[in-house]
Chains A and B, each alone.
Chain A
Amino acid sequence: MHLSVLVGVYAILGLSLNLVVGYSGLLSLAHAAFYGVGAYGSAILMKDFGFSFLSAVVLSVLITMAVGVLIGLVLSKFDGDYYALASLGFSVIAFGVFLNWRDLTNGAFGIFGIPKPEIFGYKFLAGEPYAFLVLLAVIFTFLICYFVVNSSFGRVLKAIREDEKALQVFGYKTTLYKLAVFVISAGLAGFAGTLYGSYISFIDPGGFDDLVSVNLIVVVILGGLASLNGSLLGAAFFVLLPELLRFVGMPDSITGQMRQMIYGLGLIALMMYRPQGILGKFRL
Chain B
Amino acid sequence: MIALEVKKMKKNFGGVKAVDGLSLKFEKGQITSLIGPNGAGKSTMVNLMTAMYPPDAGKMIVHGVTLEKWKSYNMPTYGVTRTFQDVRLFEQMSVLDNVLVVLTERGVFRSLFETHGELHLKQAEEILKRVDLWKKRDEKAEDLSYGQRKLLEIGRAVAMDADIYFFDEPFAGLFKEMVKTVVSILHELKNNGKTILLIEHNMDLIRELSDHVIVVDAGKFFAEGEASDVLARKDVVEAYLGE
CA distance A281 to B89 in the complex (A): 17
Partner of B73, one of A159, A163, A173, A180: A173
Partner of A174, one of B73, B90, B91, B93: B73
CA distance A159 to B104 in the complex (A): 12
Interface string of B120-148 (1 = CB under 8 A from A): 00000000000000000000000000000
B111 contacts A156, C-beta separation under 8 Å:
yes
How many A residues touch B, CB cutoff 8 Å? 27
Partner of A158, one of B71, B97, B111, B112: B97
Interface string of A53-67 (1 = CB under 8 A from B): 000000000000000
Known interface pairs A158-B90, A167-B101, A171-B106; A153-B84 also in contact (CB < 8 Å): no
Partner of B76, one of A152, A155, A158, A171: A171
CA distance A159 to B91 in the complex (A): 9
A258 at interface by CB-CB < 8 Å: no
B102 at interface by CB-CB < 8 Å: yes
**Chain A residues, CB < 8 A from B88:** 163, 166
How many B residues touch A, CB cutoff 8 Å? 33
Give the contacts of A153-212 with B (CB-CB under 8 A): 153, 155-156, 158-159, 161-163, 165-174, 176-177, 180
A169 contacts B72, C-beta separation under 8 Å:
yes
Residue among B90, B91, B117 having the largest count of chain A Cβ atoms under 10 Å: B90
B97 contacts A155, C-beta separation under 8 Å:
yes
- Chain B residue with the shortest CB-CB distance to A282: B92
CA distance A172 to B92 in the complex (A): 19
The DSSP consensus for interface residues of chain B is loop
Interface string of B17-55 (1 = CB under 8 A from A): 000000000000000000000000000000000101000
CA distance A282 to B93 in the complex (A): 9
A151 contacts B113, C-beta separation under 8 Å:
yes
A84 at interface by CB-CB < 8 Å: no
CA distance A176 to B73 in the complex (A): 12
A170 contacts B50, C-beta separation under 8 Å:
no
Partner of A171, one of B75, B113, B156: B75
A73 at interface by CB-CB < 8 Å: no
CA distance A168 to B93 in the complex (A): 17
A169 contacts B90, C-beta separation under 8 Å:
no
**Chain B residues, CB < 8 A from A281:** 92
A165 contacts B114, C-beta separation under 8 Å:
no
CA distance A167 to B160 in the complex (A): 12
Known interface pairs A170-B81, A176-B108; A151-B114 also in contact (CB < 8 Å): yes
**Chain B residues, CB < 8 A from A155:** 93, 97, 100-101, 104, 111
Give the contacts of B203-228 with A (CB-CB under 8 A): none
CA distance A281 to B91 in the complex (A): 12
**Chain A residues, CB < 8 A from B101:** 152, 155-156, 159, 167, 170
Residue among A156, A169, A172 having the largest count of chain B Cβ atoms under 10 Å: A169
CA distance A193 to B100 in the complex (A): 36
**Chain B residues, CB < 8 A from A152:** 100-101, 104-105, 111-112, 114, 117
B77 at interface by CB-CB < 8 Å: yes
Residue among A151, A152, A163 having the largest count of chain B Cβ atoms under 10 Å: A152
Give the contacts of A219-246 with B (CB-CB under 8 A): none
**Chain B residues, CB < 8 A from A274:** none
CA distance A206 to B84 in the complex (A): 49
**Chain A residues, CB < 8 A from B106:** 171-173
B11 at interface by CB-CB < 8 Å: no
A205 to chain B, nearest CB (A): 33
Residue among A166, A173, A180 having the largest count of chain B Cβ atoms under 10 Å: A166
Known interface pairs A158-B90, A162-B93, A163-B88; A169-B52 also in contact (CB < 8 Å): yes
A148 at interface by CB-CB < 8 Å: yes
A283 at interface by CB-CB < 8 Å: yes
B82 at interface by CB-CB < 8 Å: yes
**Chain B residues, CB < 8 A from A162:** 89-93
B160 contacts A170, C-beta separation under 8 Å:
yes
B104 contacts A169, C-beta separation under 8 Å:
no
A170 contacts B90, C-beta separation under 8 Å:
no
Known: A148-B112, A152-B105, A171-B106. 15 other contacts (CB 8 A): A151-B112, A151-B113, A152-B100, A152-B111, A153-B108, A153-B114, A155-B93, A155-B111, A156-B101, A169-B52, A170-B81, A170-B102, A172-B106, A177-B108, A177-B111
